[in-house]
Structures are given as C-alpha cells and as structure tokens.
Amino acid sequence: MQIFVYLIALAATVGLASGTTINGASYNSPSAGPSTAWFAGATSLPATQIASAAAAATKVPADASYILEAGGTAKATIKSDWANLSKGAAYVWVADMDVDCDGIDYKCKGNPDGQDQTNFGALAAYEAPWIVIPDKFASVNSGQLAGNNVAAVICDGKIFYAVFADTDGDSPEEIGEASWLLARTCFPDEDLNGNSGHTPADVTYIVFTGDDAVLPDSAINNNYVTDFDTLKSMGDEFMTDLVNSLGLSIDGNGSGGSSTTTIATGTNTASSPTSSSTGSSNITVTVEIDGVVRKFVPA
C-alpha cells in the first residue's frame, strides 16, 4: 500500500492525470496549452522507419499535388500506398509546416486574415493539435475523410497525434499546415506563428481513413479536444497497426515520440552473509519523461 501511494504521488509530480476529460478553455493559451505528453506517440514506435517508408511511397491518387506556399513552385504530393491496408490504412505526405489559426483563436500572432471557423466546428488552435488538408482532396475523398480523423505527424524525429480539422481553400490550394499548438510543439525554438512557418519540407503527415479513425464526439467538441487519452490511445493503436502492416520493427528503444511518460518498478533482494534472516527489499521506481530517465527509491 505504501508503494502504491508513493506511485500515485510520484505520478502527480510528473504531470500524470488520473482522469480523461479536461476543460479545454483552461488550456486555450498561446503559451500554456496542453502538455505535449498528452498527444505524443509511444516511444516504442519507430519514427525514423515510418518517415522513411512515407518518403518512399509512390502511388499518387487523383488531385493529390499542391504547392507548399503562395507564390511558390515547390509542391508536395499526397500518396495512397497505405490507403488500402487492412489495418492502419492512411494517406501520407511529406511537406513543410505552416501555422493555421482558424477557429476561435483566429486572431493569433501573424494571422490578420484568419477565419473564425474550422471545417467541423471552431476548434481552438492553441488547445487542439490538428492538421489541414487541401479542400479539393478532402472533398474528393470525403468517404474516407469524414472529419476529425486521427492523424499522426512526425517532426524532428518525434511522433505527435492530431485530428484532421480544417481544409485549405486558397486559390491555388496549399499543403503543409497545422494548428498553433501542433506546429509550436514540433518546432518549439522557431517561434512559429500565423506569418512564420517551418519552411523545410521534412514533416511527415499521416491521416488515418474510415469511420473507425474518427475521434468520437466524447473526446472532441466544437471548440476543444476534451479527452487526450482517447486521442493518444487511438493514435498509438493505428500507428502500431501501420507499423505491423508495413513490416517495420517496434524496438522499444525510444525511437518514436519522446514525450511518453512511463513508470516501472523493480525489486532487488539481498541476504545478509552473517544472518539467516530474510534480506532487505529495495524498490526502485524508474520514470521516463521526455526521454529523460530518473530513478527514485521510496522512503
């Protein structure tokens, strides 16, 4: 019992929550949004392998190529190699990452022409991790992309989960956009905002298809993601299915997202060389936070 209480207290100190539902408005801040650990991929997922597989995809569906920025000529193309997998089916592309602040945070820094709505509500760019898909592609594939589909982004070697929440209807349409929260989580040192994006086309976008891939209404409402546990668990499930379908290895050595928090315990028993009494039991609690391992010994 003492150890259990200790673990609960320790969990509280490292930011683990026992509940699943949050008040999104409490986290709707440009500088104090949800913890990245809430929507980070499991450390066992092979982020580098998945990104390499995405870059090697070759199948091009209809209406799949779009410019990266207004006035530019560089394009990214959505690929459908994974769209018909029995498990982990998804569309994938590699692009840059601009900031989308449509929705209730449309007045974010550097976003003078934002809209107060997103495609499936008025989601909060500061609180919800989301990606944007070109409007034409989303419309053509609406049967597979109903809206609020779970998505995964691989950026800077890490995996984060999001939802497909908005489309780009510019003329011409652009590709490679994410909410304020997701963009600044991916690249925290670049001061990304509505007028300043991450320009290298080195971000992998994966959006899962079908009704089963849609984040349920119990986990998202018109403005906020309310249950990050569901987003994270669905993301890990779909990414694991994808990895298995592609024949990649899950090595468990932290090659995926680096923000997953895990707690493990180990017991080491030693006996006294001069006594026949039972030895002492030393409990070591190991906690991994953002890739940093810390060990604690309960008093």
Q: Is residue 255 part of a domain?
A: no
Instruction: For residue 133, give both structure tokens.
Output: 């898909």
140 and 282 inside one domain:
no
242 and 151 inside one domain:
yes
- Residues 197 and 99 sit within 8 Å (Cβ to Cβ): yes
pLDDT at site 164: 99
Q: What is the DSSP string of the chain?
A: -HHHHHHHHHHHHTT--S-S---GGGG--SSS---GGGGBPPTTS-HHHHHHHHHT-----TT-EEESSTT---EEE-B-TTTT-SSS-EEEEEEEEEEE--STTTT-TT-TT--S-BTTB---TTT--EEEEEHHHHHHTTTT--SSBEEEEEETTEEEEEEEEEEE--SS-B--EEEHHHHHHH-TTS--BTTB-EEEEEEEEEEE-SGGGBPPTTTB-SS-B--HHHHHHHHHHHHHHHHHHHT-----SS-S-S---EEEEEEEEE--TT--S--EEEEEEEEEETTEEEEE---
pLDDT at site 250: 84
Tell me, yes or no, if the pTM score tops 0.85. no
Distance CA 197, CA 176 (A): 10
Q: How far is CA 73 from CA 16, 65, 69, 132, in A?
A: 45, 11, 8, 19
pLDDT at site 114: 84
Distance CA 278, CA 17 (A): 37
Q: What is the pLDDT along the chain (299 residues), one digit of tens a residue?
A: 444 333 333 443 344 343 468 999 999 999 999 999 999 999 999 999 999 999 999 999 999 999 999 999 999 999 999 999 999 999 999 999 999 999 999 999 998 878 999 999 999 999 999 999 999 999 999 999 999 999 999 999 999 999 999 999 999 999 999 999 999 999 999 999 999 999 999 999 999 999 999 999 999 999 999 999 999 999 999 999 999 999 998 865 444 444 333 333 333 333 333 333 344 344 444 444 433 334 444 44
Please tell me whether the peptide bond between 172 and the residue prior to it is cis, using omega within 30 degrees of 0.
Answer: yes
What are the beta bridge partners of residue 206?
A: 92, 152
267 and 192 inside one domain:
no
Instruction: For residue 24, give both structure tokens.
Output: 């999104």
pLDDT at site 245: 98
Q: Range of 94's domain?
A: 24-246
Domain total in the chain: 2
- Residues 133 and 145 sit within 8 Å (Cβ to Cβ): yes
Q: Is residue 165 part of a domain?
A: yes
Handedness of CA 139, 90, 114, 116 (dihedral sign): positive
- Residues 133 and 207 sit within 8 Å (Cβ to Cβ): yes
Least Cα distance to 38 among 214, 256, 235 occurs for 235
78 and 28 inside one domain:
yes
Q: Is residue 289 part of a domain?
A: yes
pLDDT at site 147: 98
Least Cα distance to 220 among 6, 22, 11 occurs for 22
Q: Is residue 15 part of a domain?
A: no
146 and 276 inside one domain:
no
pLDDT at site 47: 98
162 and 195 inside one domain:
yes
Q: Is residue 18 part of a domain?
A: no
- Residues 208 and 82 sit within 8 Å (Cβ to Cβ): no
